[in-house]
């Protein structure tokens, strides 16, 4: 069984479009994250949610809006896509019920977003 799943795996779209990436974890974890990995493999946190509440919101354009309908899901919606948004986006989860990042994080397989 897949622990952290993301859909779609690949997303190719035109500049200016709006797109969503879905993430689900079946580990019963309390905290979920979105990371962005650029072409140089640098991984940077974007958001984290603990029990559906926003904990971390890094300096990310407000075109990016996370939504957590329940603690097993954290979706990422991106408006008005730009060329610079092209990257691999990873969802992750951890058991930590306090929202602190001291626990092991479990990553999804990633979504490769290409903006043309």
Partner 1 sequence: SQQGEEDPQALSIQEGENATMNCSYKTSINNLQWYRQNSGRGLVHLILIRSNEREKHSGRLRVTLDTSKKSSSLLITASRAADTASYFCATDTPSGSRLTFGEGTQLTVNP
Q: Which residues bind partner 1 (CB under 8 A)?
A: 4, 40-45, 48, 55-56, 90, 92, 99-102, 104-110
Give the nearest distance from C-beta 54 to partner 1 in angstroms.
12
Q: What is the dihedral of CA 61, 19, 53, 108, to 10 degrees?
A: -110
Q: Looking at beta carbons only, is 15 or 100 nearer to partner 1?
A: 100
The Cα 81–Cα 62 span in angstroms is 12
Give the nearest distance from C-beta 7 to partner 1 in angstroms.
14
Give the nearest distance from C-beta 16 to partner 1 in angstroms.
28
């Amino acid at each position: 069984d897949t622990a952290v799943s993301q859909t779609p795996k690949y997303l190719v779209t035109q500049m200016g479009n709006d797109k969503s990436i879905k993430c689900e974890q079946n580990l019963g974890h309390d905290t979920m994250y979105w990371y962005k990995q650029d072409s140089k493999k640098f991984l940077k946190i974007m958001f984290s949610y603990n029990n559906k509440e926003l904990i971390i919101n890094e300096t990310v354009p407000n075109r990016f809006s996370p939504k957590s309908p329940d603690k097993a899901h954290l979706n990422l919606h991106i408006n008005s896509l730009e060329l610079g948004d092209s990257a691999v986006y990873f969802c992750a989860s951890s058991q930590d019920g306090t929202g602190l990042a001291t626990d092991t994080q479990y990553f999804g397989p990633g979504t490769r977003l290409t903006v043309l």
